[in-house]
Structure 1
């Protein structure tokens, strides 16, 4: 059961700005996006699902004070309620937005524990190189289509072929890396910490700025959508 909150203060003002950027990116892909919030142990976890990638995106924020709740709210209303300017008061929320009916994915969250790190994931620079090559390949194959076949269905087939490929010696599909890059989680710098973890059928790409989670082969979140943006 959700307990109404009068305020929610973050431990670090910079995390409010990072959360605002994350919510803004989610809203770029879906203006009606919802997010599920889970608070406990001094941490707020924010779950979203950018529809273009068919993955779950997770951003965590350290809280000042103890809170324990689980609620789904509008991403847009949460962004509007965020205070990211310390001059205007403590970084955080003056109040949570009203709860909304959760979308189907909100009932399919990854487990909180039991994660184990797996080998075989390329480093951040190699991941960026692979992404750049994938975007170039999509555009080249799309441009080569004859006019009669330049349809959404044909583009979906090309995208499915490219973004379902796995990276390195892992089962992680390239679309998860694309999502991490597009949501601001990934940095193409040598030494930037990235890791692949698994828990049961779940895969999780973890970085200091957030995580991308999805179920492994045969346990996806839905039909693979196709987008090509900047990398």
Structure 2
């Protein structure tokens, strides 16, 4: 692409820039897949520490239709927040996850999801448990492998009465999708996918048994 993208307003550009900065915090070489159409831009990223897909959308002022994978860092550099526009960088070789995205339709809502306060509380409790149990480990067991095992145990637990693993909620919190105030949230399912949707973005992941190997690094 040679012409820049123009967002519906400057806030859209600023919100997208904040999302990209958070992705790069977890992976300086992060790539994102972009899909534009219907007056909107969808940006897919995969923060490696969480093993989920993070999705952020932005409204466009001018119609555009394209699908490409680019460097998250280069895209961030090309965003002009005050002007509300962005230069889309050249394509890069996409990572394997970029070829397997959630479906666009067919989603239905699942019951049992706590409100934002409840989800933030669940993340805080899990982080506190990890730290406490990590501190209780004797020096000879305070290894990366032991901490990986502990993190996998805690973050693989499901939230309340839902099938959503806590690591997905942690990802939403860390990427700015769970604000301090209450906002509408929903847990959706389609085929083998789960999706936590908030007004600030979505977290999607494949359910166990879908053929996707999961590994969870402890985050505290």
TM-score (norm: length of structure 1): 0.92
CA drift of 1:128 comes to 1.1
Out of 145, 153, 159, the residue aligned to residue 161 of structure 1 is 153
1:190-205 → structure 2 map (5 Å cutoff): 191-205=182-196
SS at match of 2:197: strand
Q: Decide which of 28, 33, 36 is 1:31's aligned counterpart.
A: 28
The answer to whether 1:151 aligns with 2:143 is yes
Aligned-partner Cα distance in 2 for 1:200–1:188 = 31
Question: Is 1:92 aligned with 2:89?
Answer: no
Q: Kindly indicate whether the alpha-carbon contact (under 8 Å) linking 1:105 and 1:221 is maintained by their aligned counterparts in 2.
A: no
How far residue 220 of structure 1 moved from its aligned partner, in angstroms, is: 6.4
2:43 alignment counterpart = 46
Q: 2:6 aligns with which of 2, 9, 12?
A: 9
2:152, 2:218 within 8 Å by CA — same for their partners in 1? no
Q: Deviations over 1:148-199 (max 9, x none)?
A: 111111001111110000002110000000000000000243x421110111
1:8–1:63 contact (8 Å) kept in structure 2:
yes
What is the aligned residue count? 220
The 4+ residue runs of structure 1 with deviation greater than 6 A are none
CA contact (8 A) 2:187 2:197 kept: yes
Question: What's the offset of the Cα at 1:66?
Answer: 1.1
Q: In the alignment, which residue of structure 1 is the partner of 2:206?
A: 215
CA distance 1:220–1:75, shift in 2 (3 Å): farther
Could you tell me whether the CA contact under 8 Å between 1:54 and 1:221 is conserved in 2? no
Q: 1:186 to 1:50 in 2, by over 3 A?
A: same
Query: Structure 1's 50 and 220: CA in aligned 2 closer, same or farther, altered over 3 A?
Result: farther
Cα deviation, residue 221, structure 1 = 4.5
Q: Which runs of 5+ in 1 are unaligned?
A: none
**Residues 1:30 and 1:222: Cα distance change in structure 2 (over 3 Å):** farther
Q: CA deviation at 1:5?
A: 3.8
> Contact 2:7–2:61 (CA<8 Å) still a contact in 1?
yes
